[in-house]
Homo-oligomer: A and B are copies of this chain.
């Protein structure tokens, strides 16, 4: 879908610096992911899921539907019918304690469409860096670097959410900014149960409309737009997280920064909190009928890396999509100057589809810390 318009000289070899890959996430509840956008499919293995968990496939399919392309007028119109198929680890509807392998098969990829791009480095994509790292790359639709890989995360996260129902934890993400359009209200003023009521996944009807308009403008301009997703986790008891390197927010930040297109992470008061004085920022402990609470929650539910029982909330920054339906200059692997002009169906904004991915990664982190919290009484 890309028309190579012109090329210009010079030969620089991408010398074959190559290295091993790392595709496992988590410490106890672990996802190992596999698959390329134009290979056989995307899948993974979940290891460390406790036995006896009823696996509700509908809930998994529900999150896949929230992630999949073609779901509304503001996403790519590409159709992918992403259906989960389990390969192991579930017997009579329950996890067995053995590895849960799964795959979502790829369908109807037209890999030929990408052959023009074989030797070209698309701006702000991973084409150049993959070649420098591996000395080779599967150029078809981004190969392993495609965001289609997040299917594996959504599946594992959906199972993580089911595990987290046991301690009563809910995870709710929503779009809080698109380009310069920002949801001004705090999440505490909103009903997070209404997130799915707007196609942009913003729980404020008016802000949602402005966001949708902003995305439509981008699409009309054959351009793209970024934004911010906010995620709220409720029900985490005090005492989860590790205090030094694996602070609960460090694990969450690591998870979010591993999502394609993410450029930043902040929790609680975040970057804005840097402008407050300590006396404004400190969360005073108070005694309540439910026990010890804090009056404010600049801490974002985490103190010293460990949950304190308040809501955990954080923001995730997404850059605008790199694929534009516009002419752009670039170079190919021989350092020749070329111009690309992608056609076809691409997302003008990934934010609405990224909401279930943010939730999934949060679920993986929390499922892990749920299990870690059991390494306790002597």
Contact = CB atoms under 8 A, between A and B. Distances in A.
A126 B374 CA distance: 20
A146 to B, nearest CB: 10
B331 A286 contact: yes
Contacts of A100: 34
A91 B111 CA distance: 12
A189 interface: no
**Oligomeric state, in copies:** 4
A188 to B, nearest CB: 18
A81 to B, nearest CB: 18
B137 A246 contact: no
A133 interface: yes
Contacts of A302: 129
Contact of A253 (B17, B126, B228, B265): B265
A293 to B, nearest CB: 9
A25 interface: yes
B19 A130 contact: no
Interface of A is mostly: loop
Contacts of A317: 266, 270-271, 273-274
Contacts of A258: 244-247, 250, 305
A376 B18 contact: yes
A295 to B, nearest CB: 9
Interface string A150-183: 0000000000000100100000000001011000
A226 B273 contact: yes
Contact of A247 (B51, B218, B257): B257
A313 to B, nearest CB: 12
Given A34-B87, A132-B238, A287-B337, 15 more contacts: A22-B244, A24-B24, A52-B134, A53-B378, A98-B138, A125-B304, A128-B303, A144-B244, A226-B276, A250-B258, A273-B317, A276-B319, A278-B322, A281-B319, A286-B331
A194 interface: no
Nearest to A140: B91
Interface in A196-243: 218, 221, 223-228, 237-243
A83 interface: no
Contact of A322 (B23, B237, B282, B328): B282
A319 B273 contact: yes
Interface string A67-95: 00000000000000000001111010010
A319 B298 contact: yes
A74 to B, nearest CB: 15
A317 B124 CA distance: 26
A270 B266 CA distance: 11
Contact of A375 (B138, B268, B286, B374): B374
Given A22-B47, A97-B134, A145-B304, A277 B225 contact: yes
Interface stretch (A37-45, A58-66, A352-360): A37-45
Contacts of A328: 279, 282, 284
29 contacts: A17-B238, A19-B50, A19-B376, A21-B47, A22-B27, A22-B244, A23-B98, A24-B47, A28-B375, A52-B378, A123-B282, A133-B240, A163-B378, A225-B277, A226-B274, A249-B257, A254-B257, A263-B266, A264-B270, A266-B317, A270-B317, A274-B318, A277-B320, A278-B320, A278-B324, A279-B328, A282-B324, A285-B330, A292-B331
A5 interface: no
Given A138-B96, A244-B144, A133 B291 contact: no
Contacts of A40: 86-88
